[in-house]
Structures are given as structure tokens and as C-alpha cells.
A and B are shown apart, each in its own frame.
Chain A
Amino acid sequence: MASFFFRNKSKNNVDLVTSTKQLLLKLTEDQKPIPKIEEELAKNLQQMKTILQGTPDAEVSPESVHQLLALIVEEDLLYLLANNIHKLLFESRKDAQVIFSTAFRYKPPGIAEPQVLNHVIRRRPEILIALCRGYDRRESAMPCGGILREALKYDAVAALILYDEPDGKTRDLESVNPNIPSSGEGVFWRFFEWIDKGAFEVSADAFNTFRDILTKHKPLVATYLQTNFDMFFEKYNTILIQSESYVTKRQSIKLLGEILLDRANYNVMTTYVDSGEHLKIIMKLLRDDRRMINYEGFHVFKVFVANPNKSVAVQRILISNRDKLLRFLPTFLDDRTEDEQFIDEKSFLIRQIEQLPPAPIPPPTAA
């Protein structure tokens, strides 16, 4: 019985993959949606999903999973799927997401590496870039985002996104020179746009992926940010921190704090807090009329003040506002009485500001 089913399935797997590929190719060519193709695709994808993850009543067969994934890789089905995910029906998009996630997670018995994902990173990084571009459309944003965050557990994926360049050349990670600044045209930089312009769901999902890219693999990101410091913070400040959207603004201030306070980003932080312009932006946030913006802004502001080697520019701003700050801070968000850490940090800042010298003193090592 079992072998009968197995044979049946394995035969189906070949058919399934080839027919799916054909359908996807048709879908790519045609501009208008053809319901018949969509439905057939939906059936195929659902069947694939069932093979890959089983149902509540049926276990998966490891052999069948292995065979199906091998076929999918062989036929380059993932690339087609990634590029056409927005054309699929509602449920099919979710099925596609399951197929991707299962494939990316798949580790054959005895092998510690995710085989399919490794293949994609080495041979088909275009798939990952195509998934990022899923944020161009509302339909594909969420499934693509889900797949990307799954894949972003591996730093190679983050690196591919960060170092992507528009020349279309397949990025060979080994040839990347992290000291060459980015052109700003690669897929990573489009995240600013997606976060800023997207509808709420798209923007929020893009931001989650953006955060994962920037926080999951610290040494990689630290190097990248150092090389591309100016461009990154220029965009970050203008597009995200000063965004019109409350959600974007609030989230990005918070993320900024997380990035700066991360040990791995020490150099980024010191450069960041030397800038008087940055301090001005953050001090404005303290006076925003939305409390959570004040609050998130505070957590960046404190880094400027706690810095024992403040730049002259930063000292000048703080000193000329010393009295105002000393009047402002004691009542700043003073209803946050449950937040011991906040209260203590606030008093710490007050003390630091009181102890500022009367005039800026150049820091010992003006680097």
C-alpha cells in the first residue's frame, strides 16, 4: 500500500513540477489574468504544499519531499514563483510562501546546511532580490516578506541584499569588497522607499524585514554601515526619522536606538553622536507632540549626553541649551512613573548636563 502510494506520488512529483513550471511561464507572458491557469496553478501549489508539510491527518514522506525539492531546484521553479507571486490567487500566494519556507529550511538528513537555500545563495541570488521586489506590490509584500525573514537567518542572505547592485550581475559574495561604498541603487536602498511609500501593511512588513537585515548579523552590518555611513544616515534621517507616518517615524527612532546601542556598532555610534546635526534632529523629537515619539527619541538623545567625549558641535548645542534642558527634563514625560529605568536615566542625563563645562572643550582625541 505504502509503496503504491509512494510510486504514485513520485510520478506525480515530476508532472507536478513540470506542469507548474509551464503554467507559471504562461502566467509570466500574459498580461491579463486567465482564471483557468490561475486555478490550475492553485491546485498544483496546494498539492506541493501538502507534500512538503503534510496535513493534520497525514505525515510527510521524507523521500517525496526530497524528490520534490530536487525537482523544484532543477526546474528553477523558485525563480519563476518569486517573480510571479503577485499574480497568484490569494490562497496560492500563501501556498507559495509555505513552499519557499519549507524549501529554504530544508536540511537533508545528516547535513547541517540548508541545501536549497545554499543553492539559491550560490547560484540563484536573483531569487532573493526578486523576493525583495515583492514589496513593489501589495499582493506579494506579505508572502515575500515572510520568506525573506525566514531566509535572513543566514548572513549570506543579508549580505546579498546589502551588497546588491543594479548592474544585474550575480553577486559573488567572495568578490565583494566591503570598503567600496554602495552606489545606493541596489535593492537594499529601495527599502527606504517601500517603508515610506507603501500602504500600512506593506510599509510595516518592509520595515520588519529592514530591521532584520540591520540587526540579525551585526559584524556584517557594522562594516556596511561604516562604509556607507553618510548615505545611510542621510536617508535614514530624512526618509524614516522625519517621516510623515507616525508608525514609520516611531519604529525607525526605536531601531536607530537599537543600532546605536549595539556593541558591534561602536564605530557607527561614535560617528553618529559626534554630529551636531543629528543631535538637533533628535532634540526636536523630544518636543514632538506625540509622547511615544518623545520617548523613543529620549533613548537616542541619552547616547549623545552620555558620551564622555562629546564633539565640540554637540557640546555647544547642549551647553547653550543647558538651562532649558534642565528645566525641560525634570517634567519630561513625568507621567512615566512606572518606568524606573527611564526615571533613572533621566536623572543621569540631568546630572550629566549640569556637569557640562561652561564652554565647549575639544575632546582629547578628535578623531
Chain B
Amino acid sequence: MAEGYQVLEELGSMEPDTLEETRADVDRREFRESVQGHRASHRRSGRNQTGPFVGHAAVRRLTMSQIDLEETNDELSDIQAEIALLGTCHSPYVAQYITSFVKGVKLWIVMEYLGGGSCLDLLKPGPFSEAHIAIIMRELLFGLEYLHSTGKIHRDIKAANTLLSDSGKVKLADFGVAAQLINIKSQRMTFVGTPFWMAPEVIQEAGYDFKADIWSLGITALEMANGEPPNAGIHPMKVLFNIPKDPAPRLEGDKWSRDFKDFIAQCLVKAPEKRASARELLRHRFVQRAGKIEALRELIERKQLYDTQDNHVSHPKYYEETMVDLSPRSDEDEWVFDTIKKATIAPRPPLKRRKTSRIPSSDTESVDSMMERMDLNAGPLGTPGNSPAPETRRRTSIRKSSVATAIRVPSGSTPTARRISNHIKQPLGVDLSFGNSPSTVRHFKRVSSGDKRQALSSNPAPNSFHPNPHARTFRPTPKTNDENEPPATDYSTTPVTKDALYGRRAYSKVLDSVFQEAHADSASSQQRDALAEVAQAWEYLDEVDPQGEFLLLKAMVERLKGDEKLATALGLNVSPAPTPLKQRTRSGEGSLGGSTVYGTGSTRVRSSMSCTDPQSIPRKSPDVSPPMPSPSSRPASAASASSSKGSRLILAQNNPHLKSHRRRQSAYVGGEKIWGADKHGDIDEKRLPGRVEKGMEQQGLLADILYGQWINGLKSRWPLA
């Protein structure tokens, strides 16, 4: 709280309770996390309400971003280092850090509010004119001069990290990868940045200094002039090879002045020692002749006009985030297209996934409630209250799933995009191997937005980006995403029967995505509307009566099976399945294995005991689903649904959540078979308190080997071991 008041002092413009209110307001809003939480959610608000959710009168002149410290993979100390670095910047050309505070498990970072948005945003309506670029370059050079004189390298200069205030002031932002040099002469080796903007010496890891920022500045100038950085069409991985190899890019075209071309040539000198410094470039004619920053308001107004004129165009951006989220998980070659498609309708799952992940937890709950009653009877410990350990776990899975597909952030708030783009960014100074460097991920992001921008400029509203207004039904209301609100509880009243479990599972694992894919694949808006309605109805059914849902499914499958022709067409005759189908089935199983229902052994035991037709359930559901939304009338959609299911599985490979299940699954391989053949043996085994017992001896051996050193160390130190 004391911290809060400090903020007010520094701002001087807010009433004490305003901030309180602000914070509460912000809290109430959905603040979605992304994988790393960190840099992820970043919300601005203010007057330009460009997107559906942007804008909150309560927050003024402040940007608050939060890091969920429970979720971030970064070390706390790295986050602190970044904040410390932010805190040492104080310049009119650098986005001003104000303060940060911890509330619960979240770290809030308060920065000055820059209402103009990022230059990447402002580029949406089209490239900038030379006059505008000159002004921005001059201001950026001032910012770089400041940073460099205080021993900092920004290392990620690009349009997305160049923010404008309402009045057109240009400020550098995002110090997620910035470096503080101890000595002004020292060099850095770390491989960070965003590929398209990276200087050759950074890529070659030969040691670099401030001059790396100048290269990036030159690329940024090209980005502003052309609407995209050089090589934007090339795979970022390849770009990393091209930049050191190819001659430095140049500005082409008659519409640009010689000064501008020369300025860029001065920035883009491959040998860093021959490259100009920020101070030298400030004396360049191109910059010297630049106009006043007020002129930049034209860019802001242009963007506003663009947004109002073409309101729907802001929607694709809305999806862009989703795309970003999915991208790192998808196959490199497939994700761009696939995801865009999916994204057009995908945004939803948080609620759904929540449910699935909740169900098995009822089982964990019992364990945990037992744990709650744990007494340390050697002395009173005090009652542990309602410590909801399972709650936590559940909450986590909610977050994760919302990350996966939840709608991202409203348009207009580039900082969000920016933040997200950084979400895998590594801490300062950490050496990143080429393959898994954050930039590799960042560039995926880059591709998406670049492609999108390309697509937008060539074809303002391509169909795939054009959201069907009725697709709205697929979008959760903001409330759905509000993770600060207690999750809806209605479903918890549903009796948890095994059929209900299956129903939920069928919906969340299979049907939901099938609906969405089918929706994405359907061409006409009429079809899509119809599908949306079915999907919605089904969602409601799932919410209200998962058991009935399952029984319905089952009945459908039974009947379909009854009709021989249909059964063959759908591949429901299990044994003589054609090869491709088999493959599909297998992959379906793989994804099913990832479900949380398997998460706790006991759940499964119970269901196996009472289930009438245990074997058919997991196998059938994936095959059943395609006919649901669109029967044989559109085989194409079914096929593509299955193919994208394939790609989805590939996604799952990278999904740690699923990986866990694969692991578990493989641990169960033996049990899996017994399960069908000999229930009792299985049950007995599963009933053992720690099911790890099975194969425990081997694991113990493993532990001894792995921890041999530690254990031996302990033993040797404890004389009588």
C-alpha cells in the first residue's frame, strides 16, 4: 500500500483512492497470462478505444503490466534485474518506469502511459512517409544516445518497441533483453534480439557493442518505409543465415531522398567498427532536417481514422495474439496458415478446459483434504485453514489452457503484442543456444504479424481474416476470460459420474475442437451460423448435463453402427479399419491419453470397474465426432478436421502438459492391457498407496544413480549412514 501512495506522489495527478480503484478495476478485468506470464499481459487504457475491450476511464496515464510470478519460468532475480535496469533509465526518449509492486503472486509494473501506440501499430494503415521517419529516427537516436552513454544496449530496436505518446513523443520501450555493460568498453556475446532486426555481429556471436542497436535502427527505418523489415517473407530461421551472408540491405525506390538512402546505408554497415554511432548519426543531414514531433500526430490520427473506418480490420489483430500463442507449438511449416484459420474461431476454451481439468481434481481434493487434516502431533501447528492446494493446481491448469487458445488481447494495445512477443525472452545475459534461443520463438511471432501485415496491405480484408460477425458466439465474453473472477461454479453441482466424466471429456477433447475446425472450414456464413448454433447448444449441454451428453453420444454411435453403410463410411467397424483411419485413431488415442481424466490412477480404476464398454469409449469418440457437425455432406471438412487434428497432435508434442501424460501413459502401458483383460490385478496395483511403487525399485535405483552424488555426500557427512 505504501508503494501505492508513492506512485501517486510521483504522478501527482491522481487522488489516492483513484489508484486504489484503478487497481481494483484492473484486477477485475481479465488479465490473461501467457506462457511466461511475464511480459505477457500488458494492458493499456485510455482514450483511444480502438478495440473491443480497450479503454478504462479509471486508469489514466499509466500502463500497468503484470507478471504472474507463479507462472513465469524466469528466475525472480532476472525479473528484478530487468526492473532494476528499467529503474535506471530516465530520459524523455525512453518509456518511463514508475514503480512496481507485488500483490499476491503478481508483480505489477507501472510505466508511463503512451497513448499513441507502437510504430508497428501505426504502420497498420500503411508505410510512413520519409518526413515522419526522419523525425522518429532523430528521436530514437536521442534515446539510443542516452542508453549508450549510460552503458546500456537495447538489443531489440524495432517498430514494435517504439512507442508514441498522444502528442507524438517518441520513446523506446521494452528492455526485456537490454544489457547493462559494467564497463563502457566491454562487449556482449549473448544471442538475443529479433532475427529480422539483428545485426550480423550479433548473429555471428563474435562479440558486439552499442553498434548493434544502430544496425537494428537502420532495419527499423526500412521497416517504416516499406511496411516490413527486409527478408520479411523469408523464414526467420533462414534470415539468421542470410543476414551475415548477404550484402547489407539498402533503401530502394525513387520516392526516397538521397539523404534517407544514405542514412540507412550508414546504419547498415556490416562491419560494426565502420558503422556510425548514435551521436554521429544525429549529425546526419537526414536527421538534421527532420521536422517537429507534432507532425507525428498525423500518424496517430491516421491510425484512428483507419480503425474507425474499417472497424473489422481490427479484429484480425484480435486473433493475431491467438496465433502467436499457438505458433510456437505448431509445426513450423504449417502453423501460419492453420492457426490463422483456427484462430478465426478458436478463441474460447478457457471455460471448457477449466471444467475438464476440474473434474479429476475432485479426486485429488480428497487426498488434499486428507492432507489438510494431517496433524503434526508433536506440537500444535495451528489449523491450516482452508488451504486449497487442489485449488491451486486447478487454477494453474486453467491458466495454461487459457494461454493455449484464449482470445488474446484486444486490438490497439500493441504493448500487449509486444509483451507477448517477448514472452519467451530470456533473462539478461543468459547465453542462448541457437536452437532454443528466445529469438527463435520471437521470430515466429514476427512472421505472423509480418505476414498479416503483408496480407492486409495487399488485400485489406482477406477472407480468412474476415471474421464472421456471428462468430462472436464463439468468442467468450470478457467475463469468461476473467481469471480474477472465481470460476463459475455451476458445473460443480453436477454429480460426477463416470458417464459425466466421459461426456466432458468427449466434449473438451474432441467435439469442441471439431466444432471449431468445422466452423473454420465452412465457407458460407450460413453454414457457419448453423454450426455456431449447434456448437453453442452443445456447449450448453456439456455445461448442464455432461452425463446426458455422453449418453446421447453413445446412442448416436450405436445407431450409426447399426446402419452398416454409415458405419463403413464413418469407419466405425473397428477391426478392419483402413490404414489411414487407423493412424488417425491412434493419434486420437494419443491425444486422449493426454486428458486429465487419466491424471489420477484411482479415477480410472473406478471408471474401469463400472464402465460397461470401456474399450470402445476412448477409441470411438474421435471417429464419432466428425459426423456431428457436418455429416457426409461435406467430406472435405471432415478430412481437414482430421488433418488438423494431426497438426494439433504435433502441437501437443510441445505441450508440457501433454508430455506429462505421455510419460504417464508409457508408464501405464502394461497396466493398460491388464485393464481390459484382468481388472482385478490392475485394481490391486492401483490401490497401493503411492502408485509409484510399481517399478519402484527401478526408480529407486535411478534415483540412487542420479542423486548418488548428493546422497553419498550426505552419507559421508553423516558418519553412521
How would you classify the secondary structure of chain B's contact residues: helix, strand, loop or mixed? helix
Residues in A324-367 with C-beta less than 8 Å from chain B = 324-331, 334-335, 337-338, 340-341, 344-348, 350-351, 354, 363-365
- Kindly list chain B residues whose C-beta atoms are within 8 Å of the C-beta of A27: none
* A205-B80, A250-B76 known; A56-B690 Cβ under 8 A: no
A123 in the interface (beta carbon within 8 A): no
Query: In chain A, what residue has the closest Cβ to B97?
Result: A201
B77 in the interface (beta carbon within 8 A): yes
Q: CA A298 – CA B254 in complex, angstroms?
A: 66
In the assembled complex, how far is the CB of residue A78 from the closest CB belonging to chain B, in whole angstroms? 19
B102 in the interface (beta carbon within 8 A): yes
* A251-B76, A327-B689, A338-B660 known; A142-B379 Cβ under 8 A: no
- The one of A55, A329, A348 in contact with B149, judged by C-beta atoms closer than 8 angstroms, is A55
Tell me if B102 and A246 are in contact (CB < 8 A): yes
Query: In chain B, what residue has the closest Cβ to A53?
Result: B184
Tell me if A291 and B70 are in contact (CB < 8 A): yes
Q: Mark A305-336, 1 if CB is under 8 A from B, else 0.
A: 01111000100110011011111111100110
- Kindly list chain A residues whose C-beta atoms are within 8 Å of the C-beta of B384: 284, 287
Residues in B676-713 with C-beta less than 8 Å from chain A = 689-692, 696, 699-700, 702-704, 706-707, 710-711, 713
In the assembled complex, how far is the CB of residue A116 from the closest CB belonging to chain B, in whole angstroms? 16
Tell me if B660 and A335 are in contact (CB < 8 A): yes
- Kindly list chain A residues whose C-beta atoms are within 8 Å of the C-beta of B88: 94, 142
Residue among B185, B392, B718 facing the most chain A CB atoms (10 A cut-off): B718
Tell me if B659 and A330 are in contact (CB < 8 A): no
Tell me if B80 and A56 are in contact (CB < 8 A): no
What is the number of contacts between chain A and chain B, taking CB atoms within 8 Å? 204
A167 in the interface (beta carbon within 8 A): no
- Kindly list chain B residues whose C-beta atoms are within 8 Å of the C-beta of A170: none
Tell me if A205 and B84 are in contact (CB < 8 A): yes
Tell me if B184 and A350 are in contact (CB < 8 A): no
Of the listed stretches B20-28, B366-374, B503-511, B540-548, chain A binds B366-374
* A330-B689, A337-B664, A345-B703 known; A287-B389 Cβ under 8 A: yes
Tell me if A246 and B184 are in contact (CB < 8 A): no
- Kindly list chain B residues whose C-beta atoms are within 8 Å of the C-beta of A137: none
Tell me if A317 and B378 are in contact (CB < 8 A): yes
Residues in B63-94 with C-beta less than 8 Å from chain A = 69-70, 76-77, 80, 83-84, 87-88, 90
Residues in A253-311 with C-beta less than 8 Å from chain B = 261, 263, 266, 270, 276-277, 279-280, 283-284, 287-292, 294, 306-309
Residues in B651-692 with C-beta less than 8 Å from chain A = 656-657, 659-661, 663-664, 689-692
A6 in the interface (beta carbon within 8 A): no
A61 in the interface (beta carbon within 8 A): no
In the assembled complex, how far is the CB of residue B602 from the closest CB belonging to chain A, in whole angstroms? 10
- The one of B659, B696, B718 in contact with A337, judged by C-beta atoms closer than 8 angstroms, is B659
Q: List 27 A-B contacts (CB under 8 A).
A: A56-B210, A199-B3, A199-B101, A200-B3, A200-B99, A200-B107, A201-B100, A247-B69, A247-B102, A276-B379, A283-B376, A287-B371, A287-B387, A288-B389, A289-B389, A291-B393, A292-B69, A294-B389, A308-B714, A323-B689, A327-B367, A330-B692, A334-B660, A338-B656, A347-B696, A348-B703, A364-B720
Minimum-distance CB pairs A-B, first 7: A337-B660, A308-B721, A348-B703, A330-B690, A324-B374, A344-B703, A204-B80
**Residue ranges of B at the interface with A (Cβ–Cβ < 8 Å):** 2-3, 6, 69-70, 76-77, 80, 83-84, 87-88, 90, 99-102, 104-105, 107, 148-150, 182-185, 210, 277, 279, 364, 367-368, 370-379, 381, 384, 387-389, 391-393, 396-397, 599-600, 656-657, 659-661, 663-664, 689-692, 696, 699-700, 702-704, 706-707, 710-711, 713-715, 717-721
